[in-house]
Chain A
Amino acid sequence: MTEQRHAEIFALVRSNIYEVLPDVEGREIKSDDRLTDLGANSVDRAEIVMLAMEALSLHIQRVELSGVKNVGELVDALYAKSHGQ
């Protein structure tokens, strides 16, 4: 895992969160933040995941990314999937 690539995916997810949840724009997002606590409902959460998948050109089933508990785990899962793991 390159630290830089991981940080890029984190930044991508953060910008997607800002896009889907304008209320939290500019707020610091931490790895252990849960999307629910940031105000995302299930439709919002799916949108955030989908925007990230599109930006990373990830062609996988969405259900493979379900079950993550917080932003950090989502970033880890996206990193793993985008590196064929």
Chain B
Amino acid sequence: MSLHSSNLVPLPDIPALVFPALGDTLIMVGVTMAIVVVVGIPLGAIVHNLGPDGLFPHRVGHQVLSWVISVGRSLPFLVLMASIIPFTRLLTGTNIGIPAAVVPMSIAGIAFFTRIVENSLRSVPRDYAKVAIASGASTFQAIVTAQLAEAVPSIIGGLTINTIAMIEYSAIAGTIGAGGIGYVAVTYGYQRFDHAVMIATIVILIATVAATQLLGDRVARALTPASRDRRRSARAARVPVAA
């Protein structure tokens, strides 16, 4: 026990250790999510519209693309990360640190988000695209206005889930030296039995995930006219009671 205690981080030093790590995590997740959104939304729209209910159904194309995404989704993140190290090095010139973590995280995230977008688009009434086409829209205009725009709250919800998954992945990426909160948890909490650091990282991770979820819910609700109204009327209904 005394052997370990000598290695423990003194309590006052914990914030200095944990908060910069949180910053690294946020950068890793933020950059990853930016890439995920930019690639995942068009990809998800393409997959959906290649499908049987889409605007340009194509059986073979849909199956091939769908299969590629499923491969990306089916590998455990740790395996995916290890297996694409040559590719990561080719792209970033390194296989450690934040840039090296962003590559496998983006690939896993894109595969995840593409499915989320596809699923969100599937829940938009098919008639909307017909309305758009009958109103003189091009295929692109129909996808943007009748599918994506209508699916925004649902996509935001998926984006929240995806971001939280990426926070988790960033902890796994931490084990290959990417830094971040996960790295601190593993090296101090797991390898050195520093329970105080472990608890601090757990609290911070829970708080981060909870904050992300809250923000996602708020934004999704704000972008849904019907639920925005319900809130407003609920608030209006409360006022006379208070008065």
Partners in one complex: no
B interface residues with partner A (beta carbon < 8 Å): none
A interface residues with partner B (beta carbon < 8 Å): none
